[in-house]
Amino acid sequence: MELKRRYIFKGFFTNFSFSFLIIFFIFFLNSLFQLIDLIIKGPFSIIPILNFFILTVAISFQYIIPLSVLSASISFFSILSSDRELNIFAFSGIPYHSLIIPLINFSIIFTLFLFYFNFFSLPQMKFEKRNIMDKIKLKNPLFLITEKEVIREIPDTTIYIEKIYRDFNFKNISITKKEDSLTIFLKAEKGKVIYNPQNNQLIFLLENGDILNYTKNAVNTINFKKYEFLINLPQNFQLPSIRPKISEMGFSKLIKIKNIESSIELHKRIIFSITPLIFLILGYCIGINLKQKNKVLYIGLGGLISIIFFELLIVGELIVRRFEKSVFLYFPVIVFVLIIKRIWK
């Protein structure tokens, strides 16, 4: 019995290590692309950038661990099945299903780790990552300019940009600025924004648009082909101190908030924590029927199954928001348990 347990652990963790390295590398590249994007956009300090990169990688562990367990489970049991080792165990009086019991016991360790990680470490990491981003923006006001977000950090000014390209070229911009009793509405099809550190100004070089000046007594409209619009930033310009979002709150703060958003976040963390156990059993059921030895196939299949799981989680979240019943958030868990029950038979 001890020999069987060691054999199962060794085989599973060989596959787990391979899957973990491949999936970690994929998420590592994603974090690297985000890092490169920050570097390309403008000036940066090495320490905040490195911290941002490390936090981005660390945050992805909530996905890397369940994905690795799923791929490793499919891989290990598929190889056992294709090599007819399952038949050997059966002839020796060891039922198929008993092979997964040692791994279930061990997967509880992953689940407990993710419970702690998702409820205590992850929120702090997310908050710190956003804090680093805001500090980077503070050093270079150009980093305030983000696409498809309403920018309100500049006093008395609101900016919205549909699309931003390299070197802060953009298309479809809307700016609203208040100056005493005058309100300026400005729209342009395209342009570019630059920062003048000497005068502490954002300079918008705009093309093909119109300006509307509104006062209590008059409204004036001006069309232009090219226009230079200046926004003076205050000398003591600072981003407001940030407060943690729901997703950035630890367990003790989260349970004190009694609304649907906090309930969704709480149950999503529970679901992300128990996915290694669900994925392990599902991977076992698929593996013993798959009978393949292609490790790339295992990782691809694991990725596809994970996408389906998270898409179902989105569906469950939409239902929760519609009916305000948190139990519907467990929709993907129920679906996967039913699939496991069906395949297990």
What residues contact 197, with CB distance under 8 A and at least 6 apart? none
**CA of residue 292 relative to chain centroid, distance:** 32
**What distance in Å separates the CA atoms of residue 128 and residue 59, rounded to the nearest whole number?**
11
Higher pLDDT, 169 or 95: 169
**CA of residue 254 relative to chain centroid, distance:** 19
Is 198 in contact with 221 (CB distance < 8 Å)?
no
Give me the pLDDT at residue 241, please: 63
Give me the pLDDT at residue 180, please: 76
Per-residue pLDDT reduced to its tens digit, 182-240: 888 999 999 999 888 788 888 999 999 998 887 777 778 889 999 999 888 876 565 55
What is the residue-averaged pLDDT of the chain? 84
**CA of residue 95 relative to chain centroid, distance:** 40
Per-residue pLDDT reduced to its tens digit, 168-198: 899 999 999 888 778 889 999 999 998 887 8
pLDDT at 149 over 90: no
**CA of residue 191 relative to chain centroid, distance:** 31
What residues contact 221, with CB distance under 8 A and at least 6 apart? 210, 211, 212, 213
Residue holding tokens 């205590």? 120
Residue holding tokens 């703060």? 253
Question: How many CA atoms, within 13 angstroms, populate the side-chain half-sphere of residue 51?
Answer: 16
Q: Where are the beta strands (DSSP E) in the chain?
A: 157-164, 169-179, 182-196, 201-214, 219-232
pLDDT at 13 over 70: yes
Give me the pLDDT at residue 329, please: 92
Instruction: For the chain, report the end-to-end CA distance as a whole number of angstroms.
Output: 25
Give me the pLDDT at residue 308, please: 93
Give me the pLDDT at residue 70, please: 92
pLDDT at 3 over 90: no
**Mean pLDDT lowest among 82-96, 164-178, 222-236, 284-298:** 82-96
Give me the pLDDT at residue 212, please: 86
Give me the pLDDT at residue 147, please: 84
**What distance in Å separates the CA atoms of residue 249 and residue 265, rounded to the nearest whole number?**
9
Give me the pLDDT at residue 87, please: 63
**What distance in Å separates the CA atoms of residue 195 and residue 231, rounded to the nearest whole number?**
10
Is 279 in contact with 290 (CB distance < 8 Å)?
no
Single-letter code of the amino acid located at 217:
N
Confidence of residue 41 (pLDDT cuts 50, 70, 90): low
What are the C-alpha distances in Å from 2 to residues 61, 112, 182? 31, 25, 82
Give me the pLDDT at residue 298, please: 80
Surface-to-core class of residue 180, CB atoms within 10 Å of its CB (0-12 exposed, 13-18 middle, 19+ buried): exposed
Per-residue pLDDT reduced to its tens digit, 120-134: 999 999 999 888 877
**What distance in Å separates the CA atoms of residue 31 and residue 127, rounded to the nearest whole number?**
17
Query: Which has the closest alpha carbon to 274: 134, 65, 103?
Result: 65
**What distance in Å separates the CA atoms of residue 84 and residue 78, rounded to the nearest whole number?**
10
Instruction: Provide the percentage of residues in the chain whose pLDDT is more than 90.
Output: 32
Give me the pLDDT at residue 59, please: 92
Confidence of residue 112 (pLDDT cuts 50, 70, 90): very high
**What distance in Å separates the CA atoms of residue 290 and residue 255, rounded to the nearest whole number?**
43
